[in-house]
Chains A and B, each alone.
Chain A
Amino acid sequence: MVKRTEQRIKVLVTKVGLDGHDRGIKVVASMLKEAGMEVLYLGMYQTPESIVRAAIDEDVDVIGLSYLSGEHLIFTPKIVEEMKKNGLEDILLIAGGTFPAEDIPTMEKMGIDKVFRAGTLTDEFVQYIVGNLKR
């Protein structure tokens, strides 16, 4: 595949399902923008299918999911499956939000590359994204 010279990182951030808390994700989106990334904000109430279609059309490097309503173990496998079905294994998948710490290994086993909990410093997740792009 063609390698980029002037790398511009494009990140899709969104919320899936009936989760109406968008304060945190908007803060994260602003931080990523300030870190020089192009942030595609899809907002709330998305489905695995609508997220994956946007990721394809927009050729994003990263998908970031925000979970605050306790649906993280339900939607994560569905999104991962939809990504696999469409051959999007080269997109970095990260998640953040509020959920029990003991769920993190399960989420990572389900296919999320890295899970961040509330309280993570900006530098930490920006550094992670920059250092772990899959393409």
Chain B
Amino acid sequence: MKKSIDIDDMVQRLLAGDRRAAARLITLVEDGMEKSHEVMKRVYPHTGQAMILGITGSGGVGKSTLTDQLIHKLRKQGKTVGVVVVDPSSPFSGGAFLGDRIRLQSHSQDDGVYVRSMASRGYLGGLSRSTYDVIRIIEAMGMEVIIVETLGAGQDEVDVIHIAHTCLLVLTPGMGDDIQAMKAGIMEIADIIVLNKADLQGANTSLRHLQSTLSVASLKGKEWIPPIIQTVSVASKAENIQGIDELTAAIARHHEYLQKTKVIDQIKFERVEQELGLIFKDELQKLIFKGLKGTGKKKKYINSIIEARADPYSVVEEVLNTYLVPRQ
């Protein structure tokens, strides 16, 4: 009884913009506590209004420093900003080294910025399982723009596309030729391509490779052709930071495009569809294993598969037919 009162109280504080309440609720959801469903039921009605920006790219390309620059620009425009940064969990110890916030500390005294670092906790796809819910909590807190930075992704970590309205892919010079860029996967999720560290040697060659790859894509008759923005997100002097205005303008243009063409509605639909699928998967698995618990059947099923008397597909079919399909 007492616990549910606490949750109501914490959600009330969250809606009033209390960062401690937000932080606590995020931990609850991250740890997958039973109460997290109750939290999300209360949080959900207060979400859906924020603009969500995804930033992905390999480790070391400058995602965090770009995020830092973008926050400065967005704050100048008077927008409040929430940031979720994901770093990988160790597959061996389960521990993680969360090293993105260190680039974002210049905002540490700005009440209009909330930053949360998360470990992926074994979830593949460049994010963590609870990222969907964490974004909702930060939205409910009142942040107008939410930047989601994936862990250093390689070629196929594209989950961010299911969460973000606008996806930035960050590349640097010298990451390979146009053949790399032509492979399926990460290039295709980009709404905006950022060529960071554009002051490095080889930037022009990389730019040409990217342009030629994209010119092929443009033949497919797509309405939105990803612009390539050259940036320098770190420099010893502030005046040597480059391309951030152009990048902010490109983000605004994409935002307008989404609204005008109603593509935003489709993105929101797909996001909820994905979210729903994930929850169904989790809950069904829990339900089925719970149903089998104590019957000794789970062990029997597993052993029959090991001993090649059955296969996992038949077992799943049998279990689903027994427990889930209503009898005619």
A40 cross-chain contacts in B, Cβ below 8 A:
98, 101, 117
A2 cross-chain contacts in B, Cβ below 8 A:
3, 6-7, 24, 28, 33, 35
B119 cross-chain contacts in A, Cβ below 8 A:
8, 38
Indicate which residue in A5, A38, A46, A87 contacts B98 across the interface (CB closer than 8 Å).
A38
Query: Does A35 contact B95, Cβ atoms closer than 8 Å?
Result: yes
Indicate which residue in B7, B35, B95, B117 contacts A32 across the interface (CB closer than 8 Å).
B95
Within 8 A of A (CB), among B12-56: 19-20, 23-24, 26-28, 30-35
Query: Does A36 contact B93, Cβ atoms closer than 8 Å?
Result: yes
Chain B 93-122 against A: per-residue CB contact (8 Å), 1 yes, 0 no? Answer: 111111101100100110000111101010
In the assembled complex, the Cα of A87 lies from the Cα of B101 at a distance in Å of 22
In the assembled complex, the Cα of A1 lies from the Cα of B23 at a distance in Å of 14
Query: Does A42 contact B101, Cβ atoms closer than 8 Å?
Result: yes
Q: Does B285 contact A (CB under 8 A)?
A: no
Query: Does A34 contact B102, Cβ atoms closer than 8 Å?
Result: no
Query: Does B117 contact A34, Cβ atoms closer than 8 Å?
Result: no
B180 cross-chain contacts in A, Cβ below 8 A:
none
Query: Does A39 contact B98, Cβ atoms closer than 8 Å?
Result: yes
CB of B96, distance to nearest CB on chain A (Å): 5
B89 cross-chain contacts in A, Cβ below 8 A:
38
Q: Does A58 contact B (CB under 8 A)?
A: yes
In the assembled complex, the Cα of A43 lies from the Cα of B102 at a distance in Å of 6
CB of A24, distance to nearest CB on chain B (Å): 15
In the assembled complex, the Cα of A34 lies from the Cα of B95 at a distance in Å of 6
- A58-B101 in contact given A2-B33, A2-B35 (Cβ < 8 Å): yes
A43 cross-chain contacts in B, Cβ below 8 A:
102, 105
- A57-B93 in contact given A42-B102, A42-B105 (Cβ < 8 Å): no
Q: Does A54 contact B (CB under 8 A)?
A: yes
Query: Does B96 contact A57, Cβ atoms closer than 8 Å?
Result: no
Indicate which residue in B6, B26, B28, B96 contacts A38 across the interface (CB closer than 8 Å).
B96
In the assembled complex, the Cα of A1 lies from the Cα of B3 at a distance in Å of 7
B97 cross-chain contacts in A, Cβ below 8 A:
29-30, 33, 39, 41
CB of B140, distance to nearest CB on chain A (Å): 15
B212 cross-chain contacts in A, Cβ below 8 A:
none
Which residue from chain B places its CB closest to the CB of A50 in the assembled complex? B108
A32 cross-chain contacts in B, Cβ below 8 A:
95
In the assembled complex, the Cα of A54 lies from the Cα of B108 at a distance in Å of 7
Within 8 A of B (CB), among A32-91: 32-43, 46, 49-50, 53-54, 56-59, 87
Q: Does A4 contact B (CB under 8 A)?
A: yes
Within 8 A of A (CB), among B107-156: 108-109, 114-117, 119, 121
Which residue from chain B places its CB closest to the CB of A52 in the assembled complex? B108
A1 cross-chain contacts in B, Cβ below 8 A:
6
Query: Does B108 contact A49, Cβ atoms closer than 8 Å?
Result: yes
Q: Does B90 contact A (CB under 8 A)?
A: yes
Query: Does B33 contact A5, Cβ atoms closer than 8 Å?
Result: yes
- A59-B109 in contact given A8-B31, A38-B98 (Cβ < 8 Å): no
Query: Does B19 contact A4, Cβ atoms closer than 8 Å?
Result: no
Query: Does B31 contact A6, Cβ atoms closer than 8 Å?
Result: yes
The interface centre, meaning the residue of A1, A40, A56, A57 with most chain B CB atoms within 10 A of its CB, is: A57
- Give me 12 other A-B pairs in contact (C-beta within 8 A), A4-B31, A6-B31, A38-B98 excluded: A8-B121, A30-B97, A33-B96, A35-B93, A38-B119, A39-B95, A41-B99, A50-B109, A54-B101, A56-B20, A59-B24, A87-B20
What 4 A-B pairs come out closest when comparing CB atoms?
A33-B95, A59-B23, A50-B108, A43-B102
Cross-chain pairs A/B with CB under 8 angstroms, 23 sampled: A2-B3, A2-B6, A5-B33, A5-B34, A10-B27, A30-B97, A32-B95, A33-B90, A33-B96, A33-B97, A36-B94, A38-B95, A39-B97, A39-B98, A40-B98, A40-B117, A41-B99, A54-B115, A56-B20, A57-B19, A58-B23, A58-B116, A59-B26
Interface residues in chain A, defined as those with a beta carbon under 8 Å from any beta carbon in chain B: 1-2, 4-8, 10, 29-30, 32-43, 46, 49-50, 53-54, 56-59, 87
